[in-house]
Amino acid sequence: MNYKWLIVLITLGACSTSETYKPEIQLTKDSTKNHDLDNNDNFSPDGKWLVYDTRTGVGGIGGSPSVERVNVETGEVQVLFGVPDNHDYGPGAGAASYHPIENKVIFIHGLPVCTEHNPYQQWRRTGVIVFDNQPNVAVLMDARDITYPFTPGALRGGTHRHEWSRDGKWVGYTYNDAIMKKLEDSTGVKWNLRTVAVSNQKHRVVLRNNNPEETVAGSWFSAVIVRVVPDPKPGSDEISNAAGDSWIGMPGYQKPDGTSQVARAFIGKVNDKNGKPVDELFVVDIPDSINVPGEFGPLEGTRTSFPMPPKGTVQRRLTHTADTKFPGCTGVVRSSSDGKYIAFGARDKNGIQQIFLISPNGGEPVQITEHASNVQSGVRWSKDNKRFAYIWDNSIVITEVSDRPFSQRFKRITATAKQPLSNLLWSTDEKTLAFNRLVQAEGKKDPKQQIFVVRL
């Protein structure tokens, strides 16, 4: 492997059978509900709280009646937002993330009017912001308008897995469009395609319509930034699905000309030369102003087309695994905070899932891990970008990014567990790792997601 383009970083002790593992501390104990971190940015800016939702096994996020937080030191639980008389069909509130600087969270909220026949859906939800000191006071983020003529800056569907940019000025998320879902139902063509959108407060949204059951008067201006099509041309860079997205750097990455570029990385589904779908890594550069229509059509879309990316949006493919023995990229991709590297999952020459790095400017991916069995999660970078944490062999591992032999670069933090771990994240002060695990309480029928922490 060639690590010459990587910075040689800190030294971690080699993993060995005599390693002293860190104890896992169960933080939440209520066995009547789930405490789901949902692979988001759940730590408060000071690292003292973890925000989570209480989704149900049947209804998922639609069945989640509350967004709560737990104190990492004391275990105290506070309800930040509750949905009165919630049902498994909605509205629901969940998938919460903390702002990187301010004490506020953003999360999904299903449309207020939900019934068994018109429940919470991918295309029937929006983003809501709640401040720690004003619980249950919802600030609507993205605007929604599904009545023609549609409104520039307002979306026509549902937003999901909201992520603040590291400077807190943008929100990025995946998106499903209600108008295209109706088109799919009427034509039989697969138009309910997931894509990526962003919002900021640089522009104003003026809603053209007011449907009390379907309109959301959000205050942020939103734009779809990734173009998707039902049938990508074989061998092309067209995609039919975009997900696993995250921000690159703070506030972006450095281009070859030295300028800084705001961007998101994501996994896009292309068709190989034989028409078989393959997931590849992409980057989309985002213009400073997202209120100017681009070459593919209006920002707000039409009755038969998606909302289209703004002028200056540039979408680029970084990986080309389609013709390899083990094609495809996986995971929620994440970049280092300096924007130099994007980490993603892919299979190595032996078919084992590993972690790779690549520059947002392109180039050949570099394999970083060399495990004998599959890596089980995406990565969480340290603040100094010198290492990252992830899940392997049902344990937490921290790996150094350098050119030293792999056996000297990775360190297992916890012992192998019988039950899988999920939703790993690193606190802002880097003193704590948190994760989810299903726990079967005595006398209870169903296991529940509980939050665990490890002190570093």
Q: Name residue 410's beta-bridge partners.
A: 399
Percent of the chain with pLDDT over 90: 92
- Domain range summary for the chain, segments of one domain joined by +: 25-455
pLDDT given for residue 212 in this prediction: 79
The torsion angles phi and psi of 309, rounded to 5 degrees, stand at -65, 150
Q: What is the C-alpha separation between 215 and 211, in angstroms, rounded? A: 5
The CA distance from 364 to 304, in Å, is 38
**Stronger pLDDT, 17 or 339, i.e. the higher one:** 339
What are the structure tokens assigned to 451, written together?
């939050």
- The CA-based diameter of the chain, rounded to the nearest angstrom, is 67
Determine whether 39 is exposed, middle or buried from the number of CB atoms within 10 Å of its CB (0-12, 13-18, 19+).
buried
The string of pLDDT tens digits covering residues 123-168 is: 999 999 999 999 999 999 999 999 999 999 999 999 999 999 999 9
Q: Is the pLDDT of residue 9 over 60?
A: no
171 contacts 198 by C-beta, under 8 angstroms: yes
Q: How far is the C-alpha of 344 from the C-alpha of 330, rounded, in Å? A: 6
Q: Is the pLDDT of residue 18 over 80?
A: no
d(CA 169, CA 101): 10
Tell me how far apart the alpha carbons of residues 76 and 427 are, in angstroms, rounded to a whole number: 18
- Helix, strand counts (H, E) of the chain: 2, 29
pTM of the model: 0.94
Q: pLDDT at position 66, please?
A: 98
Give which of 129, 133, 119 is closest to 58, Cα–Cα.
119
DSSP alpha helices (H): ranges in 226-328? none
Q: What is the pLDDT of residue 444?
A: 84
Q: What is the mean pLDDT of residues 75-90?
A: 97
252: pLDDT strictly greater than 60: yes
Question: What is the separation of C-alpha 180 from the centre of its chain, rounded to a whole number of angstroms?
Answer: 23
What is the SS3 assignment for 315? strand
Token pair for 187: 């034509």
* Residue 14's pLDDT band (cuts 50, 70, 90): very low
Q: pLDDT for 265-299, tens place per residue? A: 999 999 999 999 999 999 999 999 999 999 999 99
The reply to whether CATH 2.30.30.60 applies to domain 25-455 is: no
Chain segment 353-389, per-residue pLDDT in tens: 999 999 999 999 999 999 999 999 999 999 999 999 9
CA 321 to mean position of chain CA atoms? 22
pLDDT band of 393, cuts 50, 70, 90: very high
- Residue 385 has what pLDDT? 95
pLDDT tops 60 at residue 16: no
Q: Any idea how long the chain is?
A: 456
Q: Is residue 316 pLDDT above 70, yes or no?
A: yes
Local structure of 391: helix, strand or coil: strand
| DSSP bridge partners of 270 | 278
Question: CB–CB of 153/143 below 8 Å?
Answer: yes
Q: Name the strand (E) or helix (H) holding 98.
A: strand 93-98
Tokens of 89: 């069909």
Per-residue pLDDT at 19: 66
Name which residue leads in pLDDT, 15 or 163. Answer: 163
Measured from the Cβ of residue 383, the count of other Cβ atoms closer than 10 Å reads 12
Other beta carbons within 10 Å of 441: 14
Measured distance CA(281)–CA(283) in Å, rounded: 7
**98 contacts: CB under 8 Å, gap ≥ 6:** 41, 42, 43, 44, 45, 49, 51, 104, 105, 164
| pLDDT score at 209 | 84
Angstrom CA distances, 246 to 35, 171, 174, 263, 265, stand at: 23, 10, 10, 9, 6
Asked if residue 122 has pLDDT above 50, the reply is yes
Three-state DSSP at 87 gives: strand
Task: Give dist(CA 245, CA 225) in Å, integer.
Answer: 12
What does the DSSP 8-state code read for residue 251?
S
Tens digits of per-residue pLDDT, 214-243? 899 999 999 999 999 999 999 999 999 999
